[in-house]
Structure 1
């Protein structure tokens, strides 16, 4: 079976869907990876995958250029005789499904799966550009996701409700799968050492792309307040600006924060498990998420979490159990939650253990892979007589864990 995974960056395929690609290949399927050109394409090829560079510009709003891309995808699917197309993020989900609907004659690609990790800039930002694009994106969603062979995969119940209320897709075609999962073997708690018993500054980390929507302004304001209060807290920021996102934070601004002494900017980090094991608390004051992988990875490493009470984040954190939930865009509440973490080491330890247990139960990547294959099987079973089904595709017990260097968080 030929399965095409399509994303808006090769980095996303490498870091977030590598385990799925490996599991599919291990099960005997032909995996085709498609994304715009980038430095991670050759790395995917070095792992033995076929990777094709797509003529895609993430920021493009040129109708002609977008039509050329959709037609290119349609021709690629025809040439490769694709059985399943799985698109990730809004643009790839819509274009992949639309091209799949047009491919292979009137029948289209047998299984079209669209995975949307949150609603993105168009729906979360009230800038004029976002408001203008909103009805256009809604219309494209309805067109691309139509038909019985299409499924939309969402990562949290709030987005399921939103898509259903907006009438973007029939409710029976929506499936809820919590993110891309995490390798709980690679992401594990640090071993206790004698040094852990010595007094030192609390180390707080925000791992994310440098976007205003991730709550960076609130993080900086809270850090300033806590520094002024005299608490011994060391604030870290891991990630890089995203030039393809209108909400990106300029590098010059981050440099100013660092020069001020508010935080230390780590930039792109290759070994995220090692970083998580070197800090005490992970924070994500995001305005909205699909399901934040950075929080799940940190929880797998046994870290207590502070995040916002918004869609996506509240699926990972139960307030007072494995971390604290605070209102979005509220630097005061964020500072108070981090102060509580600083003041109660025993509570941090208890919450970190609860965080790890929750990930093992709900967010292990093997669970996500199993549920993803079940969606493929559901669509392919429509052909009748095909020995598919999730167990035929690849049983959970056979799902292998593959480790790859983890870079900038989502």
Structure 2
């Protein structure tokens, strides 16, 4: 049986869905990755996952380009004839559903892992127009989707008015974390010393880390301001910001800002890294002052590594961090409150260890990769049973 996973980038499927795809293959499914043409990483193919490429531009609003994308997907689906089409993110959800419907794919699943820029940005005529058009298209597509998956109830409630069938909507808690890999006992002390030295971090420094794309909606500005407040009182604290400037996102942080801030020395922008576990292994506190999330994978990976988390009291983040238990929730846009929460953890090692331990237990019981993959597999079986009837 064929399943097609549709996204705009190979990076997305690799970073968030690879474990799902490999697990499904181990259960006898044939899984294809359908991704944009211009990428040439070949990572999925190296993992044994066949890839089909199609033309799509994330930022394009040119009707001709968008029609070409839909027609290309239609031709792909007509030839491939998958039983299940699982789409991710706004454009693939919308265009994939239209093309999948035309190609008579039996089962179509839309996946909205987060609302994205057009729903989190409240200002600007252009953004409001995009949001209006996207919502109207979703209203149409939800008629033909067999299931629509969200990562939290708040996001689900943003869209529920667009359908007459609430039963189509469901929440699955994120992508799941590989708790065997992201485990505090997997990185030896010798390796930690090497990582610290390679990053120019002193042995005695307290390390505060953030991972993710460098877009303003992740709270980059607030984090930098909070870091300045912390540094004025504690010079033995280093901030590591791991991620890249996403040029495809209108809210991307500029390279000039990164260069200017990075000159201070105590805030280190590390760019895109593959060794996330190594960096988390030397981290004392994880921080994510985001304005809104689906369910933040970086936070869950940090929790799995036994690290306390300071994040914002917003959808997605409040689902994983319990204030005062495995970390702290602070108001969004508030650098002062962010700094105060970080300071509590900086001053209390015992508190850090206790909160970190509780966080790992929380991931093991609710957010592990195995739990999420089983939920996805059960959903596929349920939809297949309905299709056979």
Structure 1 length as normaliser, TM-score?
0.88
C-alpha separation between the residues in 2 aligned to 1:199 and 1:211?
A: 30
> Which of these residues, 304, 307, 311, is aligned with residue 315 of structure 2?
311
Partner of 1:66: 66
1:314 aligned counterpart, secondary structure: coil
Asked whether the equivalents of residues 2 and 31 of structure 2 are also in contact (C-alpha less than 8 Å), the reply is yes
Secondary structure of 2:96's counterpart equals helix
Written as runs of structure 1 = structure 2, the 5 A alignment for 1:286-365 is: 286-365=290-369
User: Residue 212 of structure 2 contacts residue 298 of structure 2 at CA under 8 Å; is this kept in 1?
Assistant: yes
Alpha carbons of structure 1 residues 24 and 225: separation in structure 2 relative to 1, 3 Å: same
The equivalent position to 1:175 in structure 2, one of 170, 175, 185, is: 170
1:133 aligns with 2:137: no
Secondary structure, in 3 states, of the residue corresponding to 1:347? Answer: helix
Residues of 1 paired with 2:311 and 2:215: CA distance? Answer: 15
Q: Is the 8 A contact 2:135 2:162 kept in 1?
A: no
Distance 1:278 1:255 in 2: 24
1:37 Cα offset (Å): 3.5
Q: Give SS of 1:249's match.
A: coil
Secondary structure of the residue aligned to 1:146 is helix
1:379, CA displacement in angstroms? Answer: 2.0
For residue 248 of structure 2, give the secondary structure of its aligned residue in structure 1: coil
DSSP-derived class of the 1:282 partner: strand
> 1:154 touches 1:160 (CA, 8 Å); kept in 2?
yes
Residue 184 (str. 1) matches residue 179 (str. 2): yes
Q: How far does the alpha carbon of each residue in 1:17-44 deviate from its partner, in whole angstroms, 9 at most, with x for none?
A: 1111101111111111011135564121
Q: 2-side partners of 1:127 and 1:262: how far apart?
A: 35
Alpha carbons 1:322, 1:355 under 8 Å: kept: yes
State the Cα deviation string for residues 343-382 of structure 1 (Å, max 9, x = none): 1110000000011001011111111111112222222222
1:230, distance to aligned residue in structure 2 (A): 3.4
Post-superposition Cα deviations, 1:269-324, rounded to whole Å, max 9, x if no partner, equal 11111111111111000000000000011111111000000000011100011100
Q: Is the 8 A contact 2:306 2:359 kept in 1?
A: yes
Give me the whole-angstrom Cα distance separating, in 2, the residues matched to 1:235 and 1:122.
Answer: 29
Instruction: Identify which of 106, 110, 114 aligns with 1:110.
Output: 106
Match of 1:390 in 2: none
Residue 121 (structure 1) aligned to one of 111, 117, 123: 117
Task: Write the mapping of 1:357-376 to structure 2, written as runs, cut at 5 A.
Answer: 357-376=361-380
Query: Structure 2: any 5+ residue segments left out of the alignment?
Result: 194-201
- Per-residue deviation, 1:145: 1.4
C-alpha distance in 1, partners of 2:149/2:168? 9
Q: How does 1:206-225 map to 2 (within 5 A)?
A: 206-225=210-229
The separation in 2 between residues aligned to 1:60 and 1:137, in whole angstroms, is 13
Residue matched to 1:14? 14
Partner of 1:81: 81
SS in 1 for 2:311: strand
State yes or no: 1:5 paired with 2:1.
Answer: no
Query: Within the alignment, does 1:142 sit opposite 2:139 as a pair?
Result: yes
Task: Flag the 1:183–1:299 CA change in 2: closer, same or farther, 3 A.
Answer: same
CA shift, 1:262, in A, is 4.6
2:151 is matched with 155
SS at match of 1:264: strand
Cα RMSD after superposing both structures: 1.8
Shift of 1:193: 5.3
Structure 2 CA distance for partners of 1:342 and 1:38, relative to 1, 3 Å: farther
Higher relative contact order (CA 8 A, sep 6+): 1
Deviation at 1:67, TM superposition (A): 1.4
The answer to whether the Cα contact below 8 Å between 1:287 and 1:310 also exists between their aligned partners in 2 is: yes
Tell whether the 8 Å contact from 1:94 to 1:145 is kept in structure 2 after alignment: no
1:378-393, aligned counterparts within 5 Å?
378-384=382-388
**What's the TM-score once normalised by structure 2's chain length?**
0.93
Question: Aligned runs of 1:249-260 on 2, under 5 Å?
Answer: 249-260=253-264
Number of residue pairs the alignment of both structures matches: 378
